[in-house]
Amino acid sequence: MILALLLSQGALAACPENPNFEAFNQAAERGEAAFSAMDLAGLTEAHDQALSIIPCLRTQVSPDQAAAFHRLMALLAFTKGDEPSVLAEFHAARRLEPGYTMAPTVAPPGHPLLRLYSESGNAKEGPLEMPIPPIGGAVFVDGVLGSLRPTGISSILQVYDADNRLQETLYLRAGESMPQWGPLPLDNALRERRHKALGAATAASALTALTFYGLAVHAERQFKDLDDPLPDDDLRALRSEGNGYLRTAVGAGVFGVGLGAALVITW
């Protein structure tokens, strides 16, 4: 997790001060225009620019923008004859924008791209993964908060911390492993239970130490009470009792300090 954070910080450090979010939004339009004109260089440029901007984005990506990006990825995959990627990217786009219709200038009637777009509705999404956000934070999958990530298609993920600050934006292709930004829900629940138990034990130890220290002080006062002196045997018993109280108080105090230290270390 620390390595992933360092890598993301390094990527942000290499980004321009003001990432061209507008260029990211327009990449799909430029890619479609280049595809229509059979301008492979222009399509590749739009594709590469959109990919390079993603790690630098500091603005929330909407589902429509994510859908347009996936269609751009599909167009370039089509030029390479990579039908599985075309189907996966089109399927990712259709999940987000099911009512989209491809322009005739991009794919006129009978164009094989239309067939793939139609078939993409039945493409397999693969197993679904639950993103694990930072503690108190959130993860958007293709612009949708709290969505599961289908492993069989690609996704744009945006990670926010507990203060609603965008930490990272990344593009995961089909089959790529997803980072884990926070503890698993079960681990977090166990951690909270452990903290509560340690906190309760620390409080109980502190209360025990104070109680027995109070008893030791009371015994000491009785021992030194010149106005009401006790017989020697009673004084020896009282001194022994007071020392026992004091040892118990010190032991409980040391134990409580240890528990408190453990609570701080594991917080």
What is the structure's pLDDT at 257? 55
DSSP string, 207-221: HHHHHHHHHHHHHHH
What is the structure's pLDDT at 7? 39
CB-based burial, 161-181: b 16+ in 10 Å, e otherwise: beeeeebbbbbbebeeebbeb
- Is the pTM here over 0.75, yes or no? no
The domain spans of the chain are: 2-172, 185-265
- Per DSSP, helices labelled H in the chain are 2-13, 21-36, 40-53, 63-79, 83-96, 112-119, 185-223, 232-265
Please, what is the angle between helix 63-79 and helix 112-119, to 10°? 130
What is the structure's pLDDT at 192? 59
Q: Which among 214, 194, 211 is positioned nearest to 259, based on CA atoms?
A: 194
How far, in Å, CA of 72 to CA of 44, rounded? 10
What is the structure's pLDDT at 246? 60
Residues 6+ apart with CB under 8 A from 68: 25, 27, 28, 29, 93
Which stretches in the chain have pLDDT values below 70? 1-14, 16-19, 185-202, 205, 209, 212-213, 215-246, 248-267
What is the structure's pLDDT at 258? 54
Q: Which among 127, 128, 124 is positioned nearest to 141, based on CA atoms?
A: 128
What is the structure's pLDDT at 134? 92
What is the torsion angle, in degrees rounded to the nearest 10, for the CA atoms of residue 174, residue 177, residue 180 and residue 184? Answer: 90
pLDDT tens-digit readout, 41-100: 999 999 999 999 999 888 899 999 999 999 999 999 999 999 999 999 999 999 999 989
Tokens of 137: 């934070």
What is the structure's pLDDT at 24? 85
pLDDT tens-digit readout, 217-234: 666 666 565 556 656 565
Tokens of 110: 């009978």
What is the structure's pLDDT at 167? 92
